[in-house]
Every structure is written in C-alpha cells, then in structure tokens.
Structure 1
Amino acid sequence: MAAQYGKISVIFDRMGLLYPDAGASLGFTVSLVGIVGIFFGLVAGLYVSSLGYRRSLVWALWIGAGMSALQALHLPFGLFLVSRLIEGLSHLSVVVAGPTLIAALSSDRDRGLAMTLWSTFFGVAFTLLAWFGLPLVAGFGLLSLFAAHGLIMAGLALWLGRALRDVPVPPRAKLPALRDLPGLHLPVYRSPWKVAPAAGWLFYTCCFVSILTVIPPYIAAEQRGYVLGAMPLASIASSMFLGVFLLRHFAAVKVAQLGFVLSACGVLWLWLQPGDPLACLALAAAMGLVQGGSFAAVPQLTLKDEDRAQAGGVLAQAGNLGNTIGTPLMVLALGLAGFSGLMAVLLVLFLGGFLVHQGLAQMRRHLPE
C-alpha cells in the first residue's frame, strides 16, 4: 500500500524517460496521492465506517491493483495523473480501514504490537522497493515496477478477501449525507481524543521524508548509501523492539512524546556533528518511537470503532499534509540560514510534537469524553 507512494518516489529521477514533455508537471505524479489525503482524509474515515471496513479494504486493494495495471500500459500523461488521483482514494481507504480492522481484531495485550507493526509500512515499503524494485526496473524497465505492484495488490486483495470473509468485523455506521460533511468535521477536530494522534503525526511527517531528502549531502560520500539504507531500518527496529516493550508499560502518547524528545536530542547531536552516521541512525531510531506510539494511540484514545475510523482519517490527513509541506519547508530553511537553520527548524518541530501532545493531554484531563 505504501508502495503507491514509493513506486514513483524511487524512480522519480527517471520518470522523464516515460513522459519527456511533462516538465515540472512530473511533480504531480507524486503529490496527487497526498493531495487526495489532505482534502479527503476525514471524509474517508466517515465513509469507510459506513461502507464497512472489510469491504472498503478489499475493494481499495482491487482499485489500486487496477490503476497499477493501467499504468503499466504506458498511459498518456493526463490519464496517468487521473490514475494517480484514483490511486490516492484507494490509498486513503486502505490507510483508514486497515488499522481500524487491526485494532478491532487484536487483543488488548497485543494491540500495541499490532499497531506498531502497521506503523512500519512506509519504511518497509521503501526498503523493499530499494532492494527489489530498483533491480526489477534495471532489468525490465520502469513499467515493470507498475505491473509488479499491480500483481502484488491483486494478490493481497484475493488473500484478504478470503481471510476476512468469516472474521467478525465492527458494525457499520450510518452513511453521512453530503450536506452534513462540513458539520461533521468540526466535532472531530475539536476532540482532544480523536485529533491527538494526528496532531503529533503532523510534526513527525514534516520531518521524516524531508530528513531523508536534505541530510544526504552532509553525509560522507563513501558512507552515504549505507546510512540512508540503514535509517529506515533503524526506525523500524526501534518501533518493533523498544517501542513494543514500552507500549506494554506506558501509554502510547507517552511513548510518542519520548520519541519526540529523543529526536530533538538527535538533532542537537547532528547540529554539533553534521552528517555523523551514528547521529543519523540515532535520530531515525528515536523517530521510530513516535511512529509506533502515534498509531497505537488511536485505539487507546478512542474505544469505538467509528471513532477510531475518524481518528484514522484525520491521521491520514495530517500525514499527507506533513509529507507535502515538510521538504519545501526544510529546503527553504536551508536556503535562508544554511545547515543551522535546517537543524533549528527540525528542533522546533520535534519539540512542537511533544508540546502539542502535552497540551491535548491537559485538555483530556479537564473535558468529559
């Protein structure tokens, strides 16, 4: 599912070979998926809970598989962008339905582990694309990556369609009318329970992809490939081992806050020693705690499945917004104030993530749920 983003990102420098006349419009091949999430994240949460989580998940996978299959035919550029727009809706449905089902089907003891495992999807996807997708492209061309992605998504749709057929799933909510959608947004944004995971996630996503984008020039050339490949793995390992251990003993929001504080410490280390490989890996590992804690916070803070779907929709919305604005923000800071400006912005964002969770926790203590 995360490969719906990653399959373009890893070959973006070669997309001009497919569409030589597209020019700057090639940027939309990546951003359209995120733009859908920004505008329709909460709407997806409302509709997925009405249409059914299992049905939404399986059909979203089939739609994603169909779009990848069409892309493998080398569509004209305009139609390719339309397919990416539809793929954004598919991606959004999976992001909302998947974790809601996982939380509903997991035991209380294992829910933190399950949600942390889910939270690694971006890092795992980019790692697999680097290990297997790029060699596939080198051997069979760019279109082969789209075909392979379509086959994998179709296989997942078949497997989950059968595996979830007899599994009890959460009841459906009432289908909202279009005229009611604006009014349904505000109560969700005002809820310190539903919006808390998304609020922290916005600060995290502003940093994660942008760090991998702007830090490489400061890492020694002979170590750069190793460090960039190891950073997502360090984040995943931290989530799955230290994060899961902490989630068994502390609230998910506290784990995310610890991750933000340790990430700020990692930024200070990098500020003092620019490009230091250990500092890069330590920063990535610290961010892994934010990653796992943020997703685990959704079922901890919202007990009803409908509320979890709404919280998941806002989380997707915040994640797409952060991914969209993060890199331009870092590039701007770098251009205005150099490396120190970049580090200062990262420090403010990580401390901001800690403080926004602190503020929302205060609100939860003084408001009835």
Structure 2
Amino acid sequence: MIRTWLNIVALWLIGVLAAAQLPKIAVLAPALRETFHLSLAQVGLLVSLLEIGGAVFGMVGGLALGRFGGRRFLLAGLSVLLACSVVEALAPNVALLFAARAVEGLGYVLVVIAAPTMIVAIAPERIRGAALALWSTFVPVGVALGSGVTGVAVALTSPKTALLLWAGLCALGLVAAARQGAGVRGAARMVLPRPAAVVVTFGFGLYTVFVCALTMLLPSFLIERVGASLSGASLATGLVSLTALPASAIAVRILHGAPSAPRRVVLTVVPALLATAVIAPLIFHPSVAGDAVAVTLVAGLALLLSGIASPLVFARLPGLAGATAPDDPRIAAANGLLTQFGAGGALIGPPLGGLVVGRWGWQGLGVCVAVLALAMLAAILTAERLGRAKSPEDEAFLAPETAA
C-alpha cells in the first residue's frame, strides 16, 4: 500500500508540475512586455493559450489515451512541456514565443488526462476516492507553486533562467514518469463515457467558471474599491485560492470508508453548494465590502464550501462514466471531457465576470457565483440520477475489491 501511495503522489506531483506552467507567463508578463513590446491584450492571450489546448482537445485526447496508453501520454506531455519551456526561454521573436506557448498547451492536456487515469488504474477501490480527491488539488497547488518559484527565480536571476528552470523540473518529471507502470493498457477501440459523466463534467465546468471569475477579479475589487495594495490583494487572492486544500481534506474524510457511495456524495454536495449560494452574494455586499479581511474571509468560505464538491466529482467520475474495470478506456475519455469543460470554464470565467460587473456591478458578480453554484448542484444531482441505472458489468468494477 505504501508503494501504491508513493506512485499516486508521484503522479499528483507531475500534475502539479504541469499546472505550474499556467501562471509562469503571468509572473513574467512585465519582463516579456518590455522585451517583445507586447500589449496587455497580447499578454493576456499568451497566458490563456495554455488553457485553449484543454478547451479544444480535451475530449479528443481522452479518447486517444484509451487507445495509446497512459504512460506514453505522460512521457509525451512532459517532453512537450520541457521543449516548450526551452523554446520560450530562447525565443528571438514574438511569433515563436506564441507558437511555443500554444504547443505547450497540448503537453499540458496530455499530462492532466493521463495522470488521473493512471491513478484510477493503480489505486485499489478502498483508496481510489481519496486518491482522486488529492488529484483534484493539482491546479491550485500548481498555480501557487508556479507563481512562487517563478517569482523567486526572476528576482534572483532572469526571466530566461526562470524558464530554463522549469525545463529542468520537467526533465525530473520525465524521470519520475518513466518509473511508472503502463497504468492504462492501449485498447483497440475508443469508447465514449456514459451520459452521466458528460453531465457531471459539465457541472465541473460551471465550477471553474465561477471560481476563475471570482479569483481573477478579486484583486481588482480589493485594490479599486477597498484600497488594498497590490501585494496585499495578491496575498488575499492566493489565500482564497488555497482553500481548495482544506476542502479536499474534508472531501477525503467524507469519502473514507465509502469512496463510491452516491448517497454520501449527494448528502455532502447539497448543503455545501446551497451554503455557497447563500454566502456568495455577501462577498460584495456593502456590509462586508469595506473591509479587505472580511471580503477575504467570506470569499474564502464560499470557495471552501464549493471546493468540497469538486473532489467528489473526481471521485465519482469512473463510476458515472460506466467503467467496468480500473483501466476501462471510458475513464480516460471522461477525464478528457473533464479537462475540456474545466479549461473552457477557466477561459470563460474571467471575461464573463467582467461583463457581469460592467452591467450589474460587483454585487451582480456575487449573485452570478450563487446562480452558477446552484447550476453545478443541479448538474451533479442529474448525473447521479442518470447513473443509477447500472448494468451487472458496472457493478463488477467495484464488487471484487469491495468484497475483499
């Protein structure tokens, strides 16, 4: 069991490494603007190009993984991330910089589809839910790590060296990935997940929409309306984002002993998301909005509560996809769909939040978060209802290990 957990943590760390590539360009933005004479809009596009790969190719990648195998995808993805970091560091012009960032998005997709699929394949049923709950934290941890490491590296060296540092870390990731088993055997066919998985991954997409809208716009609110400093607003937003960690710990505790129990999941997500819908409008309410600490605490509580639901989506995904074995290709396809909806939500969230604030003000954003939380709840409940109709084959996915 210890060896199994070491492999699971290694795959999680590889996912964290991939997610760390998300914020590195944002941290380097001032230097890149000066070097390449980029506009603010161009920098924004450069940052978001990594997510475009997931938004466009997530489902295709998941289907292809079921055929070619997880380990190959993992190695290919890390190789792409390594090569693109080197090209970004040495890029002599804007065109090559943008091309490298776009290709880097493909590497990111390969890693974040392969790693959770391999976790499902190697984790016994009794710890599978906890392992997937751990995996669900790879983005916030990766974003925090990527921001911190890149910032320190730039302060001590240069932007070029910082990007080469990430290339070196990706090389270490390749070594760790090479030690992993095949995880997912190549299959002769590509299999679509069941409709329940489509619905629940759409719900996860709604989650990323409101989380990204809130966290990306929160610094602007704290600086413009509350009078916080840039460093203070950044720190507050980082703390709010990291509520995903205690939320995941709570989800692991809930899943302990019954990692695939639909009833337990429903009894958890209903109060969590209803409470989120109640609390979210208070973030920008006049009674709270004048105090940066109060805004941070209320926003953190809203994301903590909604963040409990997110790991449960990951834990339930194999069962809702209709998987009949830990290496069923439907798991890879469902993870690809999850990546596609998640990346799409990350792209849509900030501009949608900006439109809402422009039309209805900051309190409108709080209401928007509440509505999206309720929509996420509706999607999860609908998925669980669709997932109730199981064939005898579906039960075989869990029965042998449960009996043990």
Using the size of structure 2 for normalisation, the TM-score is 0.81
Once the two structures are TM-superposed, the CA of residue 23 in structure 1 deviates from its matched residue by 5.9
In the other structure, the counterpart of 2:35 is 18
Given that residues 320 and 387 in structure 2 are in contact (C-alpha distance below 8 angstroms), is that contact kept between their aligned partners in structure 1?
no
Report the Cα offset of residue 105 of structure 1. 0.4
Residue 198 of structure 2 corresponds to residue 195 of structure 1 = yes
2:7 corresponds to? none
Q: Cα distance 1:238–1:367, how it changes in 2: closer, same or farther (>3 A)?
A: closer
Tell me the residue number matched to 1:292.
Answer: 311
User: 1:14, 1:283 → 2: CA distance?
Assistant: 34
SS in 2 for 1:90: helix
3-state SS of the aligned residue for 2:101?
helix
**Deviation by residue 1:125-151 (Cα, 9 ceiling, x = unmatched):** 121233332121122122222111111
Name the CA shift for 1:155/1:263 in 2 (closer, same or farther; >3 Å): same
Summarize the alignment of residues 260-339 of structure 1 with structure 2, pairs less than 5 Å apart: 260-272=273-285, 273-274=288-289, 276=294, 277-302=296-321, 303=323, 304=325, 305-339=328-362
Which residue number in structure 1 is paired with residue 67 of structure 2? 50
Identity of aligned residues (%): 27
1:59 aligns with 2:62: no
From the superposition, tell whether residues 80 and 258 of structure 1 become closer, same or farther in structure 2 (CA, over 3 Å): farther
Describe the shift of the 1:77–1:225 C-alpha distance in structure 2 as closer, same or farther (beyond 3 A).
Answer: closer
- 247, 253, 256: which one pairs with 1:245? 253
Contact 1:227 1:280 in 2 (8 A): no
1:148 and 2:165 equivalent? yes
Q: Is the 8 A contact 1:22 1:77 kept in 2?
A: no
Equivalent in the alignment of 1:171: 185
Shift of 1:233: 2.2
Letter in 1 for 2:364: G
Q: Is the 8 A contact 2:54 2:339 kept in 1?
A: yes
- With the length of structure 1 as denominator, give the TM-score of the two structures: 0.88
Shift of 1:91: 0.7
CA distance in 1, matches of 2:158, 2:200: 40
Going from structure 1 to structure 2, the CA distance change for 1:13 and 1:202 (only over 3 Å counts) comes to farther
Deviations 1:37-68 (A, max 9, x none): 22211110111121111111112111211110
Distance in 1 between the 2:200 and 2:99 partners? 31
Distance 1:294 1:15 in 2: 37
Instruction: Summarize deviations over 1:268-291 as a string: whole Å, max 9, x none.
Output: 332442352321221221132133
Secondary structure, counterpart of 1:330 in structure 2: helix
Of 217-226 and 104-113, deviating more is: 217-226
Q: Does 1:224 align with 2:227?
A: no
CA distance in structure 2 between the partners assigned to 1:259 and 1:59 by the alignment: 38
Per the TM alignment, residue 97 of structure 1 is displaced from its structure 2 partner at its CA by 0.6
Partner in structure 1 of residue 402 of structure 2 = none
Number of the residue aligned with 1:181: none
Aligned twin of 1:214: 217
47-56 vs 267-276, greater mean Cα deviation:
267-276
Residue 180 of structure 1 is matched in structure 2 by none
Cα RMSD for the two superposed structures: 2.3
Contact map agreement 1:8 1:30 (CA 8 A) in 2 = yes
Please identify, of 300-309 and 217-226, the stretch whose mean Cα deviation from structure 2 is larger: 217-226
User: Does structure 2 conserve the Cα–Cα contact (< 8 Å) formed by 1:51 and 1:175?
Assistant: no
| Cross-structure match for 1:131 | 148
The answer to whether the 8 A contact 1:59-1:157 is kept is: no
Q: Name structure 2 gaps, 5 residues minimum.
A: 1-17, 395-404
Q: Identify the range of structure 1 (250-259 vs 32-41) with the bigger mean alpha-carbon deviation.
A: 250-259
Distance in 2 between residues matched to 1:319 and 1:75, nearest whole Å:
33
Q: Do 2:70 and 2:182's aligned partners in 1 also have CA atoms closer than 8 Å?
A: no
How far is the alpha carbon of 1:320 from its aligned partner? 1.0
Question: Is contact 1:197–1:295 with CA below 8 Å preserved after alignment?
Answer: no
Report the counterpart of residue 71 of structure 1 in structure 2: 88
C-alpha distance in 2, partners of 1:131/1:348? 33
**CA displacement at 1:156 relative to structure 2:** 0.7
Name the counterpart of 1:355: 378
Shift of 1:21: 4.5
* Secondary structure, aligned partner of 2:146: helix
Classify 1:13/1:364 alpha carbon distance in 2 versus 1 (closer, same or farther; 3 Å): same
SS at match of 1:365: coil
Q: Take 1:360 and 1:131, find their aligned partners in 2: how far apart are those partners?
A: 38
The whole-number CA distance in structure 2 between the counterparts of 1:257 and 1:309 is 27
Shift of 1:306: 0.3
